[in-house]
Each structure stands twice: as C-alpha cells, then as structure tokens.
Amino acid sequence: MIVAQQLTKTFPGPEGATIRALGPLDLQVAPGEFVCIVGPSGCGKSTLLRLIAGLEQPTGGALSVGSQTPVMVFQGDSTFPWLTVYGNVEYPLKLRGVPEKEREAAVAHKLGLVGLSKFAEAYPYQLSGGMKQRVALARAWVADPEILLMDEPFGALDEQTRMALQHELLRLWEGSQASRAARKTVLFVTHSIDEALSLGDRVLVMSGAPGRIIKEVHVPFARPRDAIQLKRDPLFGELAYDLWQALK
Ligand SMILES: Nc1ncnc2c1ncn2[C@@H]1O[C@H](COP(=O)(O)OP(=O)(O)O)[C@@H](O)[C@H]1O
Ligand SMILES: [Mg+2]
C-alpha cells in the first residue's frame, strides 16, 4: 500500500545551507497493516507522513501510495473550531457531495462509535482534548480512507485519556472486519514505545536526523487486543527494552 525507496527530503536552510530532513529511507507497508514509527524529535517523522499524504514532494528516491489520497490526523487539535462536532464529522462527506440523508446516518453512526452522540451540537472549544481527538477519529472514519496517517495524535493527552483513546482506536480499526485486507492501512507516529507496542503489528525505529529506519520489531500479540492486559505480558517488557536500546 505504501512503498518508499531511498526516499529523501531536504529543505532550503538559512544562508544557502541545506537541511537534510529525511532519509534515504526504505519502507513498505502492506494493505491492512498497522505500522507504528518511533524516533527522536526532529528526525523527520512528520516530514515522512507529509510526503505520504502528498503535502510535500520528495527530493529524491521513489514513493508510491495506494490509489486514494490518505487522511491525516494531526497532533493536538485537528478539529475545525468554526464547525460543531456534527459539522466536523460531516465535513468529508459534504466535500464528496454525499446526499444529506446519507450524511446524517453516517455521522450519527460514527458519533455513536466514539461516544459523542450527546455532543453533536457542541463546538470544539466546549470539549476536552480527548473529546476533540475523538471527533478527529470519527471524522477520519467517516471519510473511510484506505490509508490513515496519524502524527502523534494522542501525544498531548494525559495518560488515562491516552489509554482510553488507544482503546477506541483499536476498537474502530479491528472493528467487525474479520479479514486483515478489509482493514485500513495505518501509519502511526508516536514518541511512546508503550503506545507503539500496544497498537502496532510492526514497530519501526528511526535514526536521528536525517531519519532512516534502523530497527523493525514484529509485534506478536493477538487481536483483538486489550491495551491494559498486554502490559502484564513479559514479552511486552522485552520488546519495549529492545526498542529502547535501538532508540538510544
Ligand atoms: N517546511 C520546512 N522547512 C524547513 N525545514 C523543515 C520543514 N519541515 C521540517 N523541517 C525540518 O526537518 C527536520 C525534520 O522535521 P520533522 O519531520 O518535523 O521531525 P519530527 O516530526 O520527527 O520531529 C527538522 O530539522 C525540521 O526543522
Ligand atoms: Mg513531528
């Protein structure tokens, strides 16, 4: 679904200097796979997602991305402050020209899935950080992209809210889709090794800037997963230790 070969990105820096932001980076993500990326601050994680989203053009190498434009969920607040919760979730369907009755049904369903039915008429400023990210999840799900790119979406939340959101994301993604191929392909950037191991099928570690993939861990835990139970598994601690060593 995503293939990057020797992908690089440079930006013009001050006084004619060149900032090497990323790569050369090789990456392959299969359809329906949930891949997490961890790496030091400034190593090019956001740049990689922006390239895959088509928001930036590569400087070098090759990048191919499924047939649809991916949807991105950003860190912190990616809601539209001038729209209600309902309006936020409805937005991608309006863009696509979906008829009103269908929009209503789809939005109501997604708001139900993330537990926000009662807040449909609220504005983002009336919501907590966790609720805003639930709106972002519902909006991503209603858009129904093949590829979902998530850039530290829960990074600004407190630990308890973060756990709850991880749980919701897993529920949405694992959903009723028995077959892996029917699931969305997710590329999830996080600075939390715990989060990466709780969510991903695979965890990739990036080097310092310009970021390359320096380690890959296959996460063997069965699905559907319970992000809290997982932490009692001795293997969880071992994998987390391996990842910490690589990040060092
Ligand atoms: N538009 C830009 N112009 C110049 N430099 C940029 C731009 N975007 C990112 N960079 C630089 O590229 C490097 C990687 O940034 P980023 O992808 O945001 O890292 P990360 O998300 O891993 O923290 C940083 O040195 C950053 O300053
Ligand atoms: Mg970033």
pLDDT tens for residues 195-241? 999 999 999 999 999 999 999 999 999 988 888 889 899 999 999 99
The residue nearest atom 7 of ligand 1, judged by CA position, is 11
Q: 177 falls in which pLDDT band (50, 70, 90)?
A: low
Q: 94 falls in which pLDDT band (50, 70, 90)?
A: very high
Candidate of 20, 38, 45, 47 to mutate for ligand 1, largest count of ligand atoms within 8 Å of Cβ: 47
Q: What's the sign of the alpha-carbon dihedral 18, 60, 78, 76?
A: negative
Distances (CA, A) of 184 to 73, 129, 145, 146, 156: 14, 24, 7, 5, 24
| Structure tokens, 55 | 């928001």
Mean pLDDT of 189-194: 94
Distances (CA, A) of 148 to 33, 178, 187: 11, 19, 6
pLDDT tens track for 124-170: 999 999 999 999 999 999 999 999 999 999 998 999 999 999 999 99
Mean pLDDT of 173-189: 82
Ligand whose nearest atom lies closest to the CA of 209: 1
pLDDT tens track for 11-36: 998 988 999 999 899 999 999 999 99
DSSP 231: G
Residue of 225, 232, 226 lying closest to 240 (CA atoms): 232
Candidate of 8, 15, 19 to mutate for ligand 1, largest count of ligand atoms within 8 Å of Cβ: 19
Instruction: Say how far residue 106 (Cα) sits from the centre of its chain.
Output: 22
* Confidence (pLDDT) at 228: 83
* Confidence (pLDDT) at 181: 67
Q: 75 falls in which pLDDT band (50, 70, 90)?
A: confident
The residue nearest atom 2 of ligand 1, judged by CA position, is 11
Q: 37 C-alpha to center of ligand 2: Å?
A: 11
Instruction: Determine contact, residues 172/148, Cβ cutoff 8 Å.
Output: no
* Confidence (pLDDT) at 227: 83
The residue nearest atom 17 of ligand 1, judged by CA position, is 44
Instruction: Determine contact, residues 84/122, Cβ cutoff 8 Å.
Output: yes
**Residue 214 beta carbon below 6 angstroms from any ligand 1 atom:** no
Q: pLDDT exceeding 90 applies to what percent of the chain?
A: 83
| Residue 120 neighbours by CB distance under 10 Å | 16
Q: 176 falls in which pLDDT band (50, 70, 90)?
A: low
User: What domains are there in the chain, each with its CATH number?
Assistant: 2-70+145-247 (3.40.50.300), 79-144 (no CATH)
The residue nearest atom 13 of ligand 1, judged by CA position, is 21
CA angle 47, 140, 45 (to 5 degrees): 15
Mean pLDDT of 71-80: 87
CA distance linking residue 108 with residue 130, whole number of Å: 19
pLDDT at 1 over 90: yes
Instruction: Determine contact, residues 22/48, Cβ cutoff 8 Å.
Output: yes
